[in-house]
Amino acid sequence: MAEYLRLKKSNCKNCYKCIRHCPVKAIRFSGNQAHIVGDECILCGQCFVVCPQGAKEIADEREKVKVLLASNDPVVVSLAPSFAANYKGAGIEEMRDALKKLGFADAEETAIGATIVKKEYERLLQEGTRDVMITSCCHSVNLLIQKHFPDMLPYLINILTPMEAHCQEIKKRIPNAKTVFIGPCVAKKDEADLGDLVDAVMTFEELSEWLKEEKIEIASRTKEDDRGRARFFPTTGGILKSMTIKPDNYTYLTIDGTENCISVLKDLRNGNIHHCFIEMSACVGSCVGGPVMEREKSPVSNYISISSYAREQDFAVSMPSPEALREDRMMLEMNQRFPSQGEIEEILRRMGKTKKEDELNCGSCGYDTCRAKAVAIYQGKAEVSMCLPFLKEKAENFSGNIINNTPNGIIVLNEDLEVQQVNKAALKIMNIPRESDVMGEPVVRILEPKAFMEAKNGKNVYDQKTYLAEYNRYVEQTVIFDKEYKVLIGIMRDITEEETEREKKEEFSRQTIEVADNVVEKQMRIVQEIASLLGETAAETKIALTKLKESISDE
């Protein structure tokens, strides 16, 4: 299958929304990126519709169409009947005028092909040889049956879709004509590539962008006609509404939405449905709820737009032979492997699910059950890390182990300065017996709030030495405000022993200095006393010697 739906990898954010909405789980995750599994995909386009990052994009065929227009062959548009809802107020004449300005030779309504198809349905109903008949107009439904319910293929009506029937009729009527289908469906791109009746497919979005580039506006409807009953086809129940022959020996059902279609196919597989004609559409609301409808998918508004444009009479068509309308659809193989029970149990164990009660089946990963997720992991479509409860528990255990085993006290407050988390080390520092004693309480009950208030006001506190008088503790305190999560985080390193040791050293130093000062002072006194005695002796000696000198001199 060609890549009609593409993925812009840089935009994928691991939200798993696409897999949650994919009815056949045709999404594979690898390297934290989503990938579409082509051989399982039914091209319903739900992943395109729901992706919040716009990571999915539909293959654009405008350049292919421009190449067709550059040839000498006439290029005719088959315009899906849902155009009346997408381009509200416009009719086929106004659409034809706009399309001719782009270079198309002509534009016709696919509802002409729908008329052919519904008449063939009526013929088959009158034959009454089939037990159950499922309409073949929706290519996504056809792919659903071909890939996921191949045993139901005998019930799928084996005739062309309205798009194919109309393009076949155009090519039969106009020599060398090339056909381009324009509608709200990505699956039609695949359908066109399977045969040679349709040369290219564009979406309404592609057409609108092209018209905008060429500055072409679509006028409002001015002309009315009296034919076009098959214009109801793109609405829920529109096929049945368009049919005029419905034998009473059949039950008639309208099913829209892929999940509902799957439910009916399961009932059919179980033998619960008989003698029934089933109109199936993959999109909720049928084609007017298609993935590439540009306008808001309002079922009421869109139905009113279609209903106001539809008519009571059928288009005049020339019916081909049943053989010319026949299209046998074959089973499409999917390369799927399925694990044994033991392998499932081992995968569940890797997901942290060792007991039955661990299997929450919450669906956050996109799969309905943990065991379905385990099968997807085995098939290489999912990863263990996609289990959000498992990741949450793992992260909590990891962070919990760090917080509860760090020697630093940690306390977390909300913006109202109320305790949200406190670890064992913090409880020990503050002599608090139990965590529950302070959870949710104002921090002022246990700590001076000044540092927390400063951090909340934009001035984080780092390594601030603080004495907690009420706990007789010294701490080195850091308080930061997490702006993203709006929480205050306080970290306290208990430095009481360090401070006590420091104080002891300071006291010892003080005492040592005091002793030294006393010794110095005493020594200075002794020196002074010795100096004083020496001074007196020197004076007496000087006097005696002077007298002796004088005596000698006299002699």
Geometric angle at alpha carbon 246, from 242 and 248, rounded to 5°? 150
Residues 319 and 423 in one domain: no
Residues 315 and 450 in one domain: no
Find the mean pLDDT for residues 314-342. 93
Q: Residues 6 or more apart from 545 whose CB is under 8 A from it?
A: none
> How far is the C-alpha of 264 from the C-alpha of 23, rounded, in Å?
14
Residues 153 and 286 in one domain: yes
In-domain check, residue 209: yes
Q: Is the dihedral of CA 411, 412, 417, 419 positive or negative?
A: negative
> How far is the C-alpha of 523 from the C-alpha of 514, rounded, in Å?
14
Least reliable range by pLDDT among 59-63, 291-295, 429-433: 291-295
In-domain check, residue 9: no
Tokens representing 122 are 């009526």
Residues 308 and 453 in one domain: no
In-domain check, residue 162: yes
pLDDT given at position 297: 61
In-domain check, residue 540: no
Residues 208 and 99 in one domain: yes
Q: Higher model confidence: residue 484 or residue 87?
A: 87
Task: Tell me which of 279, 294, 325 is where a domain ends.
Answer: 325
In-domain check, residue 40: no
Look at residue 34 and give its three-state secondary structure. strand
Q: Is pLDDT of 203 > 80?
A: yes
Tokens representing 202 are 């564009």
Residues 427 and 312 in one domain: no
Q: Which neighbouring-strand residues pair with 181?
A: 78, 201
Task: Tell me which of 494, 518, 544 is where a domain ends.
Answer: 494
Domain range for residue 225? 60-325
pLDDT digits (tens, 9 = 90+) for 77-122: 999 999 999 999 999 999 999 999 999 999 999 999 999 999 999 9
Task: Output b/e per residue, 20-48; b: 16+ Cβ within 10 A.
Answer: bbbbbbbbbbeeeebebbeebbbbbbbbb
CA 489 to chain centre: 31
In-domain check, residue 525: no
Residues 317 and 415 in one domain: no
Tokens representing 175 are 């020599």
Residues 214 and 317 in one domain: yes
- Residue 500's pLDDT band, with cuts at 50, 70 and 90, is confident
Task: Tell me which of 494, 512, 543 is where a domain ends.
Answer: 494
Residues 297 and 190 in one domain: yes
The conformational region for residue 257 under phi > 0 = left, psi -120 to 50 = alpha, else beta, is left
CATH code of the domain in which 433 resides: 3.30.450.20
Residues 207 and 72 in one domain: yes
CA 106 to chain centre: 42
Q: How many domains does the chain have?
A: 2
Q: Is pLDDT of 2 > 60?
A: no
pLDDT given at position 77: 98
In-domain check, residue 256: yes
Q: Residues 6 or more apart from 298 whose CB is under 8 A from it?
A: none
Q: Are 442 and 483 in contact (CB under 8 A)?
A: no
In-domain check, residue 475: yes
